[in-house]
Each structure stands twice: as structure tokens, then as C-alpha cells.
Structure 1
Amino acid sequence: MTEAQPLTSDGLVRILFGAGAFQMLNAGCELGLFRLLRDRPGATAPQIMTGLGLQARPVQILLLGTTALGLTIREGDRYDNSDLVESLFQTGSWDIIDDLVEFQQKITGPASLDFVPSLRSNTNVGLRTVPGDEADLYRRIAGNPEMEKLFFRCMKSWSSLSNPILVANAQLTRVRRVLDVGGGDAVNSIALAEANIGVQFTVLDLPGAVSIARDTIAERGLGDRIDVVEGDMFAEPFPSGHDCVLFANQLVIWSPDQNRELLRKAHAALPDGGQVLIFNAMSDDSGDGPLYAALDNVYFATLPNSHSMIYHWAQYEEWLVDAGFRDVFRRPGTTWTPHGVIGAVK
């Protein structure tokens, strides 16, 4: 259970001007402020003006915003990245943050303006910000190559944050072959394959995603261990011959009835003793957090599918039992993202 802190006036300001706070972060990323301070710690405002190619007024606005938010630190007339930002550079994580910010700016941001209409109509109204007439984001971006490229690049970065939780909690020591349903560009199968040398994987997804997956798998030299299969997870039975079915960041996309359908298909495809694993962000059963899941639901409410959302742990447990699985288990992560693994045995 997540215990929310009492709201203060400063907290209210951060909410009221939340869009502005994000734009300060985005500007610092897009204009190169944080990278400049990484390379030139203690830079002055005139040096930052020169480095970023900006005039005095924009730099004053930018530095006031990033410093008030704690992204940068001012000592006298000199500026540095905050300890957190610097630590992200030191651990090699800043490129990931750059991608996540770009995702929020270019994909989530435009659709988020349709959050209230999406709630009122109980469907993903924000999808209208993406050209096309398909009913979900994934089929629609297939007709928009540049957006599709951006989407999968950013999804890879999201996965880079959460995949250590998947790798630590999948526990594939007794598994021979995993079916990665909706496996996208194979980022999850690749992470698991590199951590579980004796296990084979099959990525099942739509043609556009599978095409990207083939290239990614080849780049990592895993073509002998990861196969790809084109297919619609709802339209066809799952491929046989697997003793584990993985839904990684998939069951947040679909409705409860669709999730039950997918879990029933997994149950039908598995042998006795086979297991199903569900990996994605989870919300608390208590319904009051965590904050990450609560705010990320703006994206899920407006864009991916008409019924997308971050579900409670207990909802997955209910669907697994309904599909015929037994011995349900939870394996929550321990990092700042609310990801975890929930699974069961046939």
C-alpha cells in the first residue's frame, strides 16, 4: 500500500503548473542544457547562452525553471546539474531519460489534452492525434513510419528501466521455450535470453513490430535463440511448443474481457505444468497509488486502446483463476517504477 503525503501549497503549485514543469525538463533536454552542464560544470549564464545559442532572456527563464525544480543548482553565478541528474549521467541512464521525455512531449503530450473527453466517453479520444483510422495506437503507428520508429525507440528506453525487474523475477530455470506475446521489437526476449542462456524464445506480434524485432535480434547475435512469428494475438491460436507464455507490457493495453481471452488462449497453448507470466506496471490494490501508475494512466486513458489502464494486482489474479490457472504468485519490483511480475501455473 502506498501512503500519500498530505498536499501542501508547494505541492499544489507543482500540480497546477505541472505542464510548465514538464516543459522546463523538456527544454533542458532538447536544448542541451543538462549535457552542457555535464561537460562544463559550474558554467555561468553567459557561458550557457553561448553554449546553447540562446539570448539572455530565454536563458534566464530556463535557468529559473530548472533551478526552482531542483534539476539544476546555482551557487553564486555558476550552475551545475543536480545530484540526481548527475547520477543519471554517471550510470549511463541519461540517454534513457532523454527518450522518455521525448515520448512524453511528442506522443503522450498531444493526446493528454483529450484526457477529460476520454474519461467522459470511456474511450481513447486522444488517438485522434495520430493519423489513421485504426482503432488502437499500435496498428495506427504502423502506417506512420517516423512515429513508429520513435515509438519503438522510446519503448526500448522504458523497457531498459523496468527490464531488470522482469529478469530478476521471471525465474526461467525450468523453462525451455517462452512465447513472448506482443513482444514488439524483442527487447524483453533479448533481456531474458541474455540472462537465461539455455532458454529459447518466440516473439509473436504484428508485421511492423516483427520487422523491427528481426533487425534488433540480428544486431544482438541472438538469431539462433529468438524466433519471430507474424500474427494477431486475438485472431489466431497461439503457436504451440512453449512451456511459458509471457505478456510483457501487454495486458495494460486491453479490456478485462480481452485480457481474460488472452489468458484463456495462453492456458490452451500451454502443457500441464506450463506457466504464464504477466509483466507490467501495477497499481496498488488499495487504490491510492503509486503516483507513477496514477499519472501514467493519462497515457493509457487517451491513447493505446479504448480500454487501456494500469490495473490492480488483484485484477490479474482474478483473471488468471478465471482462465483456469492455479498457484498464482506475485513478484513486485523494488525500484522507482511500479513494475512487477504476476504469474501462475496450468
Structure 2
Amino acid sequence: MSADPDLTLDDLTPILFGHAAFQYLNAGCELGLFALLAREPDLTRENVRDGLGLADRAVDVLLLGTTSLRLTTRVEGRYRNAPVIDQLVREGRWENFANVVAFEAHIVYEGQADFVESLRDNTNVGLRRIRGTGRDLYHRFAENPHLERVFYRYMRSWSELANPLLLQKVDFGRVKKVLDVGGGDAVNAIALAGEHPHLEVTVLEIPATGPIARRRIADSGLSDRVSVHECDIFRDPFPTGADCVLFSHQLVIWEPEQNVELLRRAHEALPPGGQTVIFSSISDDDGDGPLMAALDSVYFAALPAEGGMIYAWRQYEEWLREAGFTRIHRLPCAAWTPHGIIAATK
């Protein structure tokens, strides 16, 4: 296999101005450019200006950026969305994608300015940019209602984009009860219970998030099979009685020692033959990609908690063995996101 070509000066441009490139993507979402062009393709500059209520200079700046980045195209003076954006709209995934953009803009962007200091100090220095006294990002949301709404819209959207992989790859047919550790607003639990009518799911979450999850569960009509157990996952024992413990987008937040502790708690709560399922973005064992895993690690290193990143397959396997699990196997997922699944048995 031939090696990748060397980086060029032209290649450096989107890296050097990456922060500016994101601003065009976010502006196109927040100002409604992409939504406008989805409804009415082939608009002139003047149509876009009037449709968005922008001044002449502002629309020129916006369209210069989105078209240069190929987010929009211009043919004979008329603008359309990039085909991939129209595809997301057609497939009903655009709102999910836009919620991820909003999360990056309103929560990640400012905190990652402390990425260098976070690496120097080996801790999440960027948390200082989030108002509040909680020990991590999640314990500060109660003091930041707007950010809380942005985060849970993002987390629900990210999970909705990824959860089809979990449902396709993992056989829950013989599982009776699942503990969803750090299950947020119950998006995973609702998906699992909706797909498997025999399944009961308990969401483990902090007290501040419990009411949010219960409302979502009630709205889904699944309160008879999906419940919420409020606890501190590092201090309180996991409830017993489940035969599967799910860590979905959870272990990327914490330091390796904390992940081993959480997996030990799962091992203690499970009966013999019970399994733990880790579903998350995962990096390659060689430490050279995927690119999205590397870029996403900036957030986990700088902001939510004291340590975290998109960890490699081998690291999860080491932690599972240390926690007492056996019969560990990988379930790679071919997708736009770098998701993977690791299942292990007690």
C-alpha cells in the first residue's frame, strides 16, 4: 500500500484557518442559509440576501466562505447547497447534524482555546470558561440552562445518528435488562426498548439529569420498561439484576483509572455470563487516526472532565481484562463517524 503524500503548504491552509472554516459552517446553520437553500435551491445572491435579511457586505462574506469551502455551490450566479447537505436533509438527518454544530459552537469552541494548557497540565483547563462550581461540565449545566439545552440536543442527535449501528451489531435478543451508564436524556434506552419489546432498561444518571430523562421516557410512552436511577456512578454501587451494562459515549470522558473503576463496578453488578457493551468513537491501535477521533479528542482533553480522549481499541480491551472480563471481542462499524463496539463477558 502506497504511503500518503506529504503535507503541502496548500494542505496547511484549512488547518491554519480551521477555526474560520468552522465559523462559516456555524453561520450557515444559525443564519438559516442551508435551510433556505434546501427549501429554495438555485437562488441568486440577492435572493439569499433578502431571504436571510442580511446586508450586502454580510451576504458577500458568507457566500464567499461557504462556496470556497464547497458547503454551497454557485452555477451561473445561482446558489445551491452541497450535495452532501441536501442528502442529510433528504434523509431527515440535517437537524441532528445542525445540533452537533451548535454544540461545537456554544460549548466546545471556547473551552478548546485552553487545549495547550490542558495538555501541559494534563487536566481540563477549559472548564474554567463554563460558569459554575460543579466538578465537571455535567455538574455545571444546572447553572447554565442554555448550555444544558444545547448539550442534550447534541447528545440526543449524536446518539440518534450512531444508534442504528448499536442496534445492528449487538444481539440484545437474549438480554432481559440493561443498565445504561450515564445514559443522558435516555436516548439510548428509548431506542433499545423501542427495538426490543421484551427489554427493560435502567438509565444511571446524576440527579440534575434525572428529570430530563424521565420526561423523555414519559413522552416516548415507555415508562413501564425504561426507568431512571439517580446516582454518582463513581461513588454509588450499580444496581444489580441486569444482565447487560452499556457504556455508550461514556468512557471517552474519563481517565484510564476511572474507566477501570467503572468497568469493575459493572463486573460486580453483573451475574456470571452477563456482558458489558462499550459503544463509542474509538481510535486506531497505531495512534494515527481516524481524523475525526483526533479532532474530537481536543474537546475531551480540554473541557468536560479531568481526563479523556477518543481511546484506542487495545486500551478498552486492557481495561476490561483488568476489571475481570473475559471473551472480549471487537465489532468495528463502517460509518462516517469512527464508532466501534467492544463486548465482554463476565
TM range (shorter): over 0.9
1:25 and 1:271 mapped to 2: Cα distance?
Answer: 48
1:173 aligns with 2:173: yes
Task: Name 2:130's counterpart in structure 1.
Answer: 130
Matches within 5 A, 1:97-108: 97-108=97-108
Shift of the alpha carbon at 1:4?
Answer: 5.7
Matches within 5 A, 1:103-182: 103-182=103-182
Matches within 5 A, 1:54-65: 54-65=54-65
Using the aligned pairs only, state the percent identity: 55
Contact 1:4 1:288 in 2 (8 A): no
Contact 2:245 2:277 in 1 (8 A): yes
One-letter amino acid of the structure 2 residue matched with residue 317 of structure 1 = E
1:329 and 1:5 mapped to 2: Cα distance?
Answer: 34
Shift of the alpha carbon at 1:59?
Answer: 1.1
1:118 and 1:5 mapped to 2: Cα distance?
Answer: 31
Gaps of 5+ in 2: none
Task: Name 2:32's counterpart in structure 1.
Answer: 32
2:245 and 2:311 mapped to 1: Cα distance?
Answer: 20
Task: Name 1:312's counterpart in structure 2.
Answer: 312
2:64 and 2:5 mapped to 1: Cα distance?
Answer: 26
2:290 and 2:60 mapped to 1: Cα distance?
Answer: 35
Q: Residues 61-104 of structure 1: CA distance to partner in whole angstroms, max 9, x if unpaired? A: 11111111111110111111111111111111111121111111
Task: Name 2:296's counterpart in structure 1.
Answer: 296
1:184 aligns with 2:218: no
Matches within 5 A, 1:261-340: 261-340=261-340
Name the count of aligned residue pairs.
Answer: 345
Contact 1:184 1:213 in 2 (8 A): yes
TM-score, with structure 2 as normaliser: 0.97
Q: Residues 274-296 of structure 1: CA distance to partner in whole angstroms, max 9, x if unpaired? A: 00111111000010000000000
Task: Name 1:214's counterpart in structure 2.
Answer: 214
Contact 1:189 1:201 in 2 (8 A): yes
Q: Residues 173-193 of structure 1: CA distance to partner in whole angstroms, max 9, x if unpaired? A: 111100111111111111111
Contact 2:106 2:147 in 1 (8 A): no
Q: Residues 128-186 of structure 1: CA distance to partner in whole angstroms, max 9, x if unpaired? A: 11111222111111332222122111111111111111111221111110011111111
TM-score, with structure 1 as normaliser: 0.97
1:271 and 1:341 mapped to 2: Cα distance?
Answer: 21
Bigger drift between 83-92 and 283-292 goes to 83-92
- Check 1:5–1:164 CA distance in 2 against 1; reply closer, same or farther (3 A cut): farther
Gaps of 5+ in 1: none
- Check 1:293–1:339 CA distance in 2 against 1; reply closer, same or farther (3 A cut): same
Task: Name 1:238's counterpart in structure 2.
Answer: 238
Please tell me the root mean square deviation across aligned C-alpha atoms, in Å: 1.3
One-letter amino acid of the structure 2 residue matched with residue 208 of structure 1 = A
1:283 and 1:339 mapped to 2: Cα distance?
Answer: 9
2:310 and 2:37 mapped to 1: Cα distance?
Answer: 36
1:61 and 1:297 mapped to 2: Cα distance?
Answer: 31
Q: Residues 3-59 of structure 1: CA distance to partner in whole angstroms, max 9, x if unpaired? A: 866423332111011011101111111111111111221110111111111111111
Q: Residues 310-332 of structure 1: CA distance to partner in whole angstroms, max 9, x if unpaired? A: 11000010011111111001111
One-letter amino acid of the structure 2 residue matched with residue 165 of structure 1 = L
SS of corresponding position for 1:250: coil
SS of corresponding position for 1:185: coil
SS of corresponding position for 2:208: helix
Contact 2:106 2:150 in 1 (8 A): no
Task: Name 2:16's counterpart in structure 1.
Answer: 16
- Check 1:4–1:336 CA distance in 2 against 1; reply closer, same or farther (3 A cut): farther
- Check 1:57–1:87 CA distance in 2 against 1; reply closer, same or farther (3 A cut): same
Q: Residues 88-122 of structure 1: CA distance to partner in whole angstroms, max 9, x if unpaired? A: 11111111121111111100001011111111111
- Check 1:5–1:89 CA distance in 2 against 1; reply closer, same or farther (3 A cut): farther
Task: Name 2:260's counterpart in structure 1.
Answer: 260
- Deviant stretches of 4+, over 4 Å: none
Shift of the alpha carbon at 1:195?
Answer: 1.5
Task: Name 1:77's counterpart in structure 2.
Answer: 77
Contact 1:281 1:340 in 2 (8 A): yes
One-letter amino acid of the structure 2 residue matched with residue 156 of structure 1 = R
One-letter amino acid of the structure 2 residue matched with residue 276 of structure 1 = T
Q: Residues 237-266 of structure 1: CA distance to partner in whole angstroms, max 9, x if unpaired? A: 110111111111111111111111111111
1:4 and 1:125 mapped to 2: Cα distance?
Answer: 34
Contact 1:4 1:289 in 2 (8 A): no
2:39 and 2:162 mapped to 1: Cα distance?
Answer: 28
